[in-house]
Amino acid sequence: MNNKRPTIYEEFKAKGYSRREFVTFCSLMGAWLGLEVSGVSQVAKALEAKSRPPIIWLHFQECTCCSESFIRSSHPLVADIILDKISLDYTETLMAAAGHQAEKSLHDTMTNYKGEYILMVEGSIPTKEDGVYCCIGGKTAYDIMQEVAEGAKAIIAWGSCATNGCVQAAAPNPTGAAPVGKVIHGKPIINVPGCPPIAEVMAGVVVHLLAFDRIPALDSQNRPKSFYSRRVHDTCYRRPNYDAGLFVETFDDENAKKGYCLYKMGCKGPNTYNACGVIRWNNGVSFPIQSGHPCIGCSENNFWDNGPFYEHLKSFPGFGIESTADKVGLGLGIATGAALGAHAVATNIRKRKLIIKGRKEIEAESSND
Amino acid sequence: MEQNILKLDPKLKLVYVWQQPVRIFHWVNALAVLMLCITGYLIGAPLAIQHGTEASFNYWFGIIRAIHFIAGYVFFFNFIFRLYWGFVGNEYSKWDNYVPYKKKQWKGIWEVLKVDIFQLKLGPYETIGHNSLASTTYFMTFIAFIFQSLTGFGLYAAMSPSWFPKLFSWFVPLVGGDMAARHLHHLLMWVFILFAMIHIYLVFYHDYIERNGVTSSMIGGWKFIEVNEDEDKMNED
């Protein structure tokens, strides 16, 4: 790493943070990342010794909610060092430079730190009509992505857009929006899904990269295991109500007031892997379920196409919007029952003939004997 | 009185069709599927039960789910046993009855459709073991069994500390995540319910119309079959 750059700890001090705040931050990060106690001092030592790696943060088809979430990290140190100083490198939303200057700074970072910089991507990349649906500085998102990814050490895909396409990729996906993993191959990609991801999760992933110089343990979908290995359902404080069979039936009933389980309101917690129930949002103040709203499963692949937010079953294709598997199944059950009834009637009419026929045959045979 | 007593058709012979392991499989499977459908439906659409007490006093939904998971294990291993029996069992339980890879089986399916379902021809179309249509249907339910096991254990893996369900977790991302797997699992439940309705009806129908004792054959293993002198005819089925 370039020694001319100040270390991360020096940057902290320059910003006016105390040693105590720094250690608190390291402990928090250690806890979120699930490190053992000795790991905390490793984090602290690494941040004292290392300088911040150059970072390029690209924005494509997105709403910037990932950046918004990131700057609201409960402990502001990471957001501070990365976002305040990020104008040194490149990010469309927050950098000071504009126009040709901005393009130059992107170019400089790419050439000066080839193979060293970390590429962070917010947003999906349109692939239809040669990618014309998202162009920056005269280049398509697709081309920019290929160019910048080339020299990146690692890529972090922020949010659902960059990890699975999010709403742009929802059916019928008019722009052919694709996540980073579909357009870039052969580079380590860390997927951090969520709409947006939790600020502390984003910070945790960055700190892991900074402190250990390697990618955190990832699951089969390239999500960091420390944050995405458990279901919201299994870490939900309302879970005892689920096991007790106590459910909110409507949003304004007594059960809702008592804080019962939101499963019947379409809560996607049982199908969603995220850390909302543990880390929560806005400095641990709350998370959707705590605020009385079912989880919409925003960190799951294609969550926009996974059925209505307030119902648990998808609508059944070809049978209208209101039809669920249960309604179709029940309809088929009734139809089957009716068909069986008709068949039974026909059988009985036929059976009279068979009985008479059978009896005659047997009688004929016994009289022959 | 005399009129109501039918003499036993002298051509009817008792044939031992279903071996004991097949019968045990059938009833264990029936019970497991029944439990799975009831508890599964409740898991999808829990009853609206009001309590005056705190959550810590109740656990009915947890018990429903526990029954579902236990029945799931029973269902799965029972199924594995039946697959094994498809290789070591008698001629009526052998795997090649079920996979419709012979032209004769497809012809048989058409015959059964004409005689039993559309009632175009006066029957009976008799076979000793399963008829071709039934065996093909069972083959398809076995495929449903496989998908139900893959989605069921795949979904269960996330909440189980056991290594066994984890063997199935690779399947969930293939269908597009937990939500999609859950949907598939739920749809297949209806396939089981519809199958059970038609299956039970047709067993009664055959017993009624053919007087071959097919209903009780799954208890005792014996069926009354019209055995012709022509042995080839019998072996053909």
CATH class of B22-47+58-195: mainly alpha
Interface membership of A137 toward B (CB under 8 Å): no
| pLDDT at residue B125, as a whole number | 65
Query: What type of residue is A246?
Result: L
Query: CA–CA separation, A82 vs A204, rounded Å?
Result: 13
Q: Do A326 and B64 touch (CB under 8 A)?
A: no
* Residue B168 C-alpha, separation from nearest chain A C-alpha, in angstroms: 13
Dist. CA A335–CA A340, nearest whole Å: 9
CB pair distance less than 8 Å for B190 and A325: yes
Q: Is residue B232 very low, low, confident or very high in pLDDT (cuts 50, 70, 90)? A: very low
Q: Which of residues 128 through 157 in chain B touch A, CB cutoff 8 A?
A: none
CA separation for the pair B212, B189 (Å, rounded): 31
Over residues B116-126, the pLDDT tens digits come to 777 666 666 66
Q: How far is the alpha carbon of A264 from chain B, nearest alpha carbon, in Å?
A: 7
Q: How far is CA B165 from CA A74, B99, B155, B174, in A?
A: 37, 28, 8, 16
| pLDDT (tens digit per residue) in A79-111 | 776 666 554 567 777 777 778 888 888 888 888
How far apart are the C-alpha atoms of B143 and A199, rounded to whole Å? 44
ipTM, two decimals, is 0.77
Tokens in use for A236? Answer: 């939900």
Contact B201 A343 (CB under 8 A): yes
Residue A1: its pLDDT value, please?
Answer: 45
Residue B66 forms contact with A (CB below 8 Å): no
Average pLDDT (B208-235) is 73
Please tell me the predicted confidence (pLDDT) of residue B234.
45
Those residues with Cβ within 8 angstroms of residue B43's Cβ, 6 or more apart along the chain or in another chain: B64, B65, B68
| Per-residue 3-state assignment (H helix, E strand, C coil) for chain B | CHHHCCCCCCCEEEEECCCHHHHHHHHHHHHHHHHHHHHHHHHHCCCCCCCCCCHHHCCHHHHHHHHHHHHHHHHHHHHHHHHHHHHHCCCCCCHHHCCCCCHHHHHHHHHHHHHHHCCCCCCCCCCCCCCHHHHHHHHHHHHHHHHHHHHHHHHHHHHCCCHHHHCCCCHHHHHCCHHHHHHHHHHHHHHHHHHHHHHHHHHHHHHHHHCCCHHHHHHHCEEEEECCCCHHHHHHC
Q: Tell me the pairing of strands A55-59 and A177-178.
A: unpaired
Nearest CA in chain B to A315: B183
CB atoms within 10 A of CB B49: 12
From residue B40, give the alpha-carbon distance in Å to each of A248, B4, B65, B80: 20, 46, 8, 21
* Cβ-defined contact of B58 to A244 (cutoff 8 Å): yes
C-alpha angle A295/A297/A302, rounded to 5°? 155
Q: Which member of B48, B51, B194 has the closest CB to residue A249?
A: B48
- CA–chain centroid gap for A359, Å, is 72
- Reading the block at residue B46, the tokens are 């829990």
CB contact B187 to A (< 8 Å): yes
Chain B nearest C-alpha distance from A69 (Å)? 25
Domain boundaries, chain A: 8-228, 233-305, 326-369
Considering only CB atoms, B7 lies closest to which of A255, A271, A362, namely A362
CATH number for the domain running over A233-305: 4.10.480.10
Going from N- to C-terminal start, the domains of chain B cover 22-47+58-195
Q: What is the pLDDT of residues A195-205, one digit of tens each?
A: 999 988 888 88
Whether chain A has a CB inside 8 Å of the CB on B61: the answer is yes
> What's the pLDDT at B68?
95
- What per-residue confidence (pLDDT) applies to A343? 84
Percentage with pLDDT > 90 across chain B = 37
Q: Are A202 and A73 in contact (CB under 8 A)?
A: yes
How confident is the model over B34-81, as pLDDT tens digits?
999 999 999 988 887 776 677 778 888 999 999 999 999 999 999 999
Residues B201, A344: C-beta atoms closer than 8 Å: yes
Q: Which residues of A touch B9 (CB under 8 A)?
A: 358, 361-362
Check CB contact under 8 Å for B9 and A255: no
User: What are φ and ψ of residue B223, in 5° steps?
Assistant: -125, 145
pLDDT of residue A2: 47
Q: What is the spatial distance between Cα A74 and Cα A61, in angstroms, rounded to a whole number?
A: 27
Measured between CA atoms, the residue of chain A closest to residue B5 is: A359
Taking the domain A8-228, which CATH number applies? 3.40.50.700
pLDDT at A140: 92
**Which A residues, 317 through 356, put their C-beta within 8 Å of a C-beta on chain B?**
325-326, 328-329, 332-333, 336-337, 340, 343-344, 346-347, 350-351, 353-355
Count Cβ atoms below 10 Å from residue B70 Cβ, excluding itself. 14
> Is the pLDDT reported for residue B115 higher than 50?
yes
Q: Are strands A125-126 and A135-136 parallel, antiparallel or unpaired?
A: unpaired
Smallest Cβ distance to B201: which of A231, A268, A340? A340
Listed by number, the residues of chain A in 167-226 with a beta carbon closer than 8 Å to a beta carbon of chain B are: 220-221
Q: How far is CA A155 from the centre of its chain?
A: 16
Nearest CA of chain A to the CA of B179: how many Å?
6
Nearest CA in chain B to A164: B176
Mean pLDDT rounded to a whole number for chain B: 84
| B contacts of A327 (beta carbons < 8 Å) | none
Give the DSSP per-residue string, A219-263.
Answer: -TTS-BHHHHSSBTGGG-TTHHHHHTT-B--STTSHHHHHT-B-G
Token couple for A60 = 């494509």
Taking CB atoms and an 8 Å limit, are B6 and A358 in contact across chains? yes
- Contact call for A271 and B182, based on CB within 8 A: yes
Which residues of chain A are under the pLDDT cut of 70? 1-4, 76, 78, 81-89, 314-323, 354, 358, 362, 365-369
Q: Does residue A214 contact residue A205 with C-beta atoms inside 8 Å?
A: no
Give tens-digit pLDDT for B128-162.
Answer: 777 778 888 898 999 999 999 999 999 999 888 88
Of B47, B179, B205, the CB nearest to A307: B179
Considering only the beta carbons, identify the residue of B7, B186, B187 that sits closest to A366.
B7
